[in-house]
Structure 1
Amino acid sequence: MKTLFSIVVSFLFLAAQELPDVRERYHSASKTKQNAEQFYQLVAKYNGDNKTVLAYKGAGISLKSKFEPDRKLKRDFFIEGVKLVENAVKKEPNNVEIRLIRLSIQENTPKLLKYKANIDEDKKVIVTAYEKQSGDLKEIIQRYVKQSKVFTDKEKQLILK
């Protein structure tokens, strides 16, 4: 039992340690196939219960679909990734980082996939809870909002002040 506890604590510590790296790599993951693959490799092995890391894992799988030439695999990767993200949102609906991950996917998903239903809901959670977030997460939110096309000027002012 003591050994199991040590393994669990070590794994949780590892997940917390990796989160800054995961966040940074996610930012550039969609830019190239190589970045997307590296991000996918970083998050694919995670099997823990941290919902934020699981949302990033889902994002990594969804991003993999962006560069997949086979239409069936492209669809399968997208669906698998989105399921992980949606499950994370369901388990932690007030987690701003998870909402930002889902928003980033929905904003950048082609309309034909019909995965854009939660953009306004996610923006509301992000804007409302922004001030309560850590400095690191605030920087990530600001960086995203600056380049986003779904935030209004008023919403941008609230975050970028």
Structure 2
Amino acid sequence: MVIRTVQTLCFVFFIVCLPTLAKIGAISPMHSTHTDIEQIRKAYFSATDSERKTESLLKEVQKKSATDPVYRAYEGACEAILAKYMWSPYSKFAQVNKAKDLFKKAIEAAPDNAEIRFLRFSVQHNLPDFLRNESDFQADKKFLLQTFEQNQIELLSPYLIQQIATFLTQSGRYKPEERKIFEAYQTK
């Protein structure tokens, strides 16, 4: 009788409570744990100037990128960063195209995810004009501005919000009045 009650309670939790918790953002069915993605985020921001750190992070995110669009976007960002360490222009071009494909798949899976849009924007911001997809770049720029204007960033961690706001403020891609929106989030 006790086993049957426990089974029923587990069933109710997984059928009723779990989807509700995921919907309000209390848990994320796409991330194994909150600390996993937080560690990836922190590693990403410290890896952008180191080939070794970027390669290490790439190996880590590839473990989950097939099932999680956020991890796939981090994989794309790492692939793009690695292009700057290549000598051959052909290799650099191929590497950037690989990153673009990963971003495309990530955004198709989660088009309204600000983190994914930010990663693609930040990569394209650093690409030479002839490699940048201007329509995607402008769409991400507009999306990020609207997301911050409408305060639709509640699912992002405070650390990530601050990192994104700082990058967007310093990117030089926004007008002074638009930068003020991001500046408000740099100290929160």
User: Which residue of 1 is the match for residue 69 of structure 2?
Assistant: 51
1:22 is aligned to 2:40 = yes
Aligned residue for 1:126, secondary structure, equals: helix
Aligned residue for 1:111, secondary structure, equals: coil
CA distance in 1, matches of 2:38, 2:75: 14
Deviation at 1:102, TM superposition (A): 0.8
Q: Give 1:106's match in structure 2, choosing from 124, 127, 131.
A: 124
Alignment check: 8 A CA contact 1:43 1:56 kept: yes
User: Which residue of 2 is the match for residue 4 of structure 1?
Assistant: none
Aligned residue for 1:100, secondary structure, equals: helix
Specify whether residues 118 and 142 from structure 1 end up closer, same or farther in structure 2 by C-alpha distance, changes over 3 A only. same
CA distance in 2, matches of 1:57, 1:83: 11
Q: Which moved more, 1:29-38 or 1:58-67?
A: 29-38
AA aligned to 1:31 is D
Alignment check: 8 A CA contact 1:99 1:126 kept: yes
Query: Unmatched 5+ residue regions in structure 1?
Result: 1-10
CA RMSD of aligned residues (A): 2.2
More helix by share: 1
Deviation at 1:57, TM superposition (A): 0.8
Q: Give 2:97's match in structure 1, choosing from 79, 95, 106.
A: 79
User: Which residue of 2 is the match for residue 93 of structure 1?
Assistant: 111
Deviation at 1:65, TM superposition (A): 1.3
Deviation at 1:40, TM superposition (A): 2.2
**Structure 2 length-normalised TM:** 0.70
Q: Give 1:141's match in structure 2, choosing from 133, 150, 164.
A: 164
Deviation at 1:34, TM superposition (A): 2.8
CA distance in 1, matches of 2:116, 2:143: 10
Deviation at 1:78, TM superposition (A): 1.5
Deviations 1:53-109 (A, max 9, x none): 111111111111111123333222211111011121122221111110110011100
Q: Which moved more, 1:113-122 or 1:82-91?
A: 113-122
User: Which residue of 2 is the match for residue 132 of structure 1?
Assistant: 152
- How high is the sequence identity, in percent, across the aligned residues? 23
CA distance in 1, matches of 2:119, 2:139: 13
Aligned residue for 2:133, secondary structure, equals: coil
